Amino acid sequence: MGFWGLKMLLEPHGSEPRWFQYDIPNGLSLLIIAAILGLAMLVSVAAARRETVRRA
């Protein structure tokens, strides 16, 4: 969600682009979001395995 918010702040919205505004292509956005979700899943699985090992 943070990336989407940042993307919305950085994209020019129908006006003349300012120095801090940048158009991020949709394909790149989807790739970044997929990478963030994949990393979050890997960290979650690793944490669950670590917790299982500690209980044994």
Q: What is the pLDDT of residues 3-56, one digit of tens each?
A: 877 877 777 777 776 777 777 888 998 999 999 999 999 999 999 998 888 776
Q: CA angle, 47 as apex, 41 and 48 as ends, to 5°?
A: 90
For residue 33, the one-letter residue type is I
Q: How far is CA 30 from the centre of its chain?
A: 9
**Cα(35)–Cα(45) distance, rounded to whole angstroms?**
15
pTM, two decimals, is: 0.67
Q: CA distances (Å), 40 to each of 12, 15, 19, 23, in order?
A: 30, 36, 32, 26
The residues spanned by each domain of the chain are 2-11+24-55
Position 10 scores a pLDDT of 77
Helix (H) or strand (E) holding 5: helix 2-10
